[in-house]
């Protein structure tokens, strides 16, 4: 018999954490090694406990799920992240997948579907809820609009990035979420034909969108 799949549950609602822990505790195929109330705690516990799969909510007090997923990816934590949330809009799904999530399920998923998804995640296989899969397929099938000028909000994000602000700082200044900032950045990259923040800033200066760069 193989070892049980080690789970870490990250959700800022204690009732949700308790419910998930109780559900998985009834199945000897799984063992819950820890619970986290926000993304920062999830990162700390993931490094300390070595789970196979992390069930990650997206909207949490403190560090949000997308930021935590990106940081886990950056640190090379081998645990697979399965998003378990109530949100299935593009502004939530795409940043989570881009950050490195292995799967994306909604909290109304049936128990059997959730168990299958955790097993698949442990094997490194992607699992998406039907509504999320349909959304991604629709986006892939819809031709991307031709690159046009940056919107007012995109310019605001680019200027804050050029000034050295992190995604979290830019989100706080604009009163939007980090996930929304990341979505704006993806749109900026596409419109400017670049792949990262530094290139976007350089291209912004070249196109006169940011004024003249400061000289040392």
Q: What is the mean pLDDT of the chain?
A: 88
State what percent of residues in the chain have pLDDT above 70: 91
Pairing of strands 30-36, 5-10: parallel
In the predicted model, what is the mean pLDDT of residues 141-167? Answer: 81
Convert the pLDDT of each residue in 4-34 to its tens digit: 999 999 999 999 999 999 999 999 999 999 9
Q: Label residue 215 by pLDDT band (50, 70, 90).
A: very low
Q: How far apart are CA 123 and CA 56, in angstroms?
A: 17
Q: How many C-beta atoms surround the C-beta of residue 179 within 10 A?
A: 26
In the predicted model, what is the mean pLDDT of residues 53-82? Answer: 93
pTM for the whole thing?
Answer: 0.66
HEC-encoded secondary structure of the chain: CCCCEEEEEECCCHHHHHHHHHHHHCCCCEEEEEEECCHHHHHHHHHHHCCCEEEECCCCCCCCHHHHHHHHHHHCCCCEEEEEECCCCHHHHHHHHHHCCCEEEECCCCHHHHHHHHHHHHCCCCEECHHHHHHHHHHHHCCCCCCCCCCHHHHHHHHHHHCCCCHHHHHHHHCCCHHHHHHHHHHHHHHHCCCCHHHHHHHHHHCCCCCCCCCC
In the predicted model, what is the mean pLDDT of residues 200-212? Answer: 83
Convert the pLDDT of each residue in 83-124 to its tens digit: 999 987 767 888 888 889 999 999 999 999 999 999 999 999
Residue 144 pLDDT > 70: no
């Amino acid at each position: 018999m193989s070892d049980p799949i080690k789970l870490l549950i990250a959700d800022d609602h204690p009732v949700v954490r308790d419910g998930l822990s109780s559900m998985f505790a009834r199945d000897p195929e799984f063992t819950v090694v820890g619970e986290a109330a926000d993304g920062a705690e999830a990162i700390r516990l993931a490094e300390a406990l070595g789970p196979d799969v992390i069930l990650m909510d997206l909207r949490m007090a403190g560090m949000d799920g997308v930021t935590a997923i990106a940081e886990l990816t950056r640190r090379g934590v081998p645990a697979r992240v399965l998003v378990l949330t109530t949100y299935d809009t593009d502004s939530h799904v795409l940043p989570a997948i881009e950050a490195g999530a292995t799967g994306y399920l909604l909290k109304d998923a049936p128990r059997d579907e959730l168990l299958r998804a955790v097993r698949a995640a442990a094997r490194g296989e992607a699992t998406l809820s039907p509504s999320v899969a349909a959304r991604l397929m629709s986006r892939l099938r819809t031709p991307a609009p031709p690159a046009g000028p940056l919107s007012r909000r995109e310019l605001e994000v680019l200027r804050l990035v050029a000034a050295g602000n992190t995604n979290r700082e830019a989100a706080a200044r604009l009163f939007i979420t980090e996930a929304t900032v990341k979505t704006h950045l993806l749109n900026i990259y596409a419109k400017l034909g670049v792949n990262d923040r530094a290139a976007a800033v350089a291209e912004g200066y070249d196109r006169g969108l940011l004024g003249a760069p400061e000289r040392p």
